């Protein structure tokens, strides 16, 4: 990583007294400090993939996190001792729409939110990513960049666990099934042309395939797999997160909770079958989330979902989305889908 110019270290210490400045694109290699106010940074960049380098810390002890675009977690909260500095970097995808593909466009350029319990940002730079590898996400509302509290998708929390050189392009969209994802031109027809050799495409679609019969569901998964491979990418099939529906004995319901639809289609079983037959890496998120939810029990698992806020046992809270993103991260490393050195574990 290139060193930051020490002359600008104090330029963006976050405090109530910092005044807003006009946003403009930072020239490559120069500090982007002038693009920041007390809690946000804005860069007038076109859609693309960008490396962000930050220097955290100041005269007092600090603890800083960074989010961006549609509420994506980009850098976990990082503590820095008084008088110390900590350099961090990550790669971010900038696109229009900036969140769900069928949602609003959002704001042009790159918007970053500076958070944490005691945030101090000493310096920031944004430059075009030269050799970034994309992780595309194809999914539904349990994966997508949710636009507002209290909703969060696990794909929204995943970027914070990836280091510079790996970027998440989250094209998950609320309400989508395998049928609608393939047929809507804003979805698969938009994602597929962007896939490059070496990119990963994680597919988690099942929650909304309530009326999809098994032959159609299987054929749709195979079409997505074939479409990724046709572009030189690597498909990864992901079984759906469970719904929080318990039996009297403390286990999850075999139908609603474990994604068996009204036609008797066992979605996780079909996904496992297609993965085995087509030699596709499988992240069995159904099994992993089932184990976690059952271990927490009826009461403890409420915090993972929006039960307390919305009586919602399908969509996740920030806690649940973060926990499930960690499960995905761990599988990406365990199956050697991404290099261990490109992943944050804490």
Cα-based distances in Å from 56 to 122, 171, 204, 291: 5, 30, 35, 37
Confidence at residue 182, expressed as pLDDT on a 0 to 100 scale? 98
Which residue's entry shows tokens 């990513």?
Answer: 129
Mean pLDDT by 10 residues, the chain (346 residues): 30 30 36 83 96 96 97 98 98 97 96 96 95 96 97 98 97 98 98 97 98 98 98 98 97 95 97 98 98 98 97 98 98 97 88
Which residue's entry shows tokens 């927490």?
Answer: 296
- What is the side-by-side strand order in the sheet with 110-118? 40-43, 110-118, 62-68, 72-80
Confidence at residue 26, expressed as pLDDT on a 0 to 100 scale? 36
Cis status of the peptide bond prior to 97, with omega within 30 of 0: yes
The CA distance from 47 to 323, in Å, is 29
The CA distance from 45 to 269, in Å, is 43
What is the full DSSP assignment across 19-72?
PP----PPPTTS--GGGB-SSEEEE---SEEEEEEEEE--SS-EEEEEEETTTE
Instruction: Collapse the DSSP code of 170 into the 3-class scheme (helix H, G, I; strand E, B; otherwise coil) and give the result.
Output: strand
Domains of the chain as residue ranges with CATH: 6-128 (2.60.120), 133-342 (3.40.50.1110)
Which residue's entry shows tokens 């032959």?
Answer: 215
Cis status of the peptide bond prior to 145, with omega within 30 of 0: no
Buried b / exposed e over 7-30, threshold 16 CB at 10 Å, is ebbebbbbeeeeeeeebeebeeee
Q: Which two three-digit tokens encode residue 262?
A: 């009204």
**What is the DSSP code (8-state) at residue 240?**
P
- Alpha helix positions (H), the chain: 154-157, 178-183, 188-191, 214-230, 267-278, 285-300, 307-310, 318-334
Confidence at residue 346, expressed as pLDDT on a 0 to 100 scale? 66
Neighbour-count burial of 131, counting CB atoms closer than 10 A to its CB (0-12 exposed, 13-18 middle, 19+ buried): exposed
Helix axes of 267-278 and 214-230: crossing angle, nearest 10 degrees: 40
pTM for the model stands at 0.91
Cα-based distances in Å from 122 to 70, 74, 132: 24, 17, 25
**What is the DSSP code (8-state) at residue 101?**
T
The CA distance from 31 to 23, in Å, is 13
Which residue's entry shows tokens 């020239």?
Answer: 27
Question: Backbone phi, then psi, for 92, in 5-degree steps?
Answer: -130, 145
Question: Backbone phi, then psi, for 27, in 5-degree steps?
Answer: -60, 145
298 Ramachandran zone, left/alpha/beta (phi>0; psi -120 to 50): alpha
- Longest alpha-carbon distance in the chain: 65
The CA distance from 307 to 218, in Å, is 32
**What is the DSSP code (8-state) at residue 208?**
T
CB 158 within 8 A of CB 90: no
């Amino acid at each position: 990583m290139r060193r930051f110019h020490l002359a600008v270290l104090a330029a963006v210490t976050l405090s109530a007294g910092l005044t807003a400045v006009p946003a403009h694109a930072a020239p490559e290699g120069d500090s982007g400090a002038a693009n920041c106010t007390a809690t946000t940074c804005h860069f007038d960049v076109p859609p693309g993939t960008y490396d962000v380098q930050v220097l955290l810390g100041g005269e007092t002890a600090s603890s800083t996190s960074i989010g961006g675009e549609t509420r994506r977690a980009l850098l976990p909260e990082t503590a820095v001792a008084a008088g110390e500095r900590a350099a961090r970097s990550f790669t971010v995808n900038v696109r229009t729409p900036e969140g769900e593909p069928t949602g609003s466009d959002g704001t042009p350029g790159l918007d970053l939110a500076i958070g944490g319990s005691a945030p101090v940002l000493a310096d920031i730079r944004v430059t075009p990513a030269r050799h970034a590898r994309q992780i595309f996400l194809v999914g539904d509302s349990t994966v997508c960049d949710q636009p507002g509290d209290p909703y969060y998708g696990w794909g929204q929390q995943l970027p914070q666990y990836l280091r510079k050189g790996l970027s998440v392009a989250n094209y998950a969209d609320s309400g989508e099934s395998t049928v609608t994802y393939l047929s809507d031109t804003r979805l698969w027809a938009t994602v597929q042309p962007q896939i490059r050799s070496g990119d990963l495409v994680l597919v988690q679609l099942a929650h909304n395939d309530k009326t999809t019969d098994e032959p159609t569901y299987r054929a749709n998964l195979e079409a997505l797999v074939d479409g990724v491979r046709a572009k030189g990418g690597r498909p990864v099939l992901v079984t759906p997160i469970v719904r929080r529906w318990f039996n009297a004995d403390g286990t999850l319901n075999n139908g609603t909770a474990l994604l068996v639809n009204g036609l008797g289609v066992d979605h996780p079983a079909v996904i496992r079958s297609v993965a085995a037959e087509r030699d596709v890496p499988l992240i069995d998120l159904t099994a992993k989330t089932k184990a976690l939810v059952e271990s927490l029990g009826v009461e403890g698992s409420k915090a993972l979902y929006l039960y307390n806020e919305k009586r919602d046992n399908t969509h996740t809270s920030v806690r649940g989305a973060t926990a499930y993103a960690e499960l995905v991260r761990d599988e990406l490393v365990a199956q050697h889908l991404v290099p261990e050195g490109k992943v944050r574990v804490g």
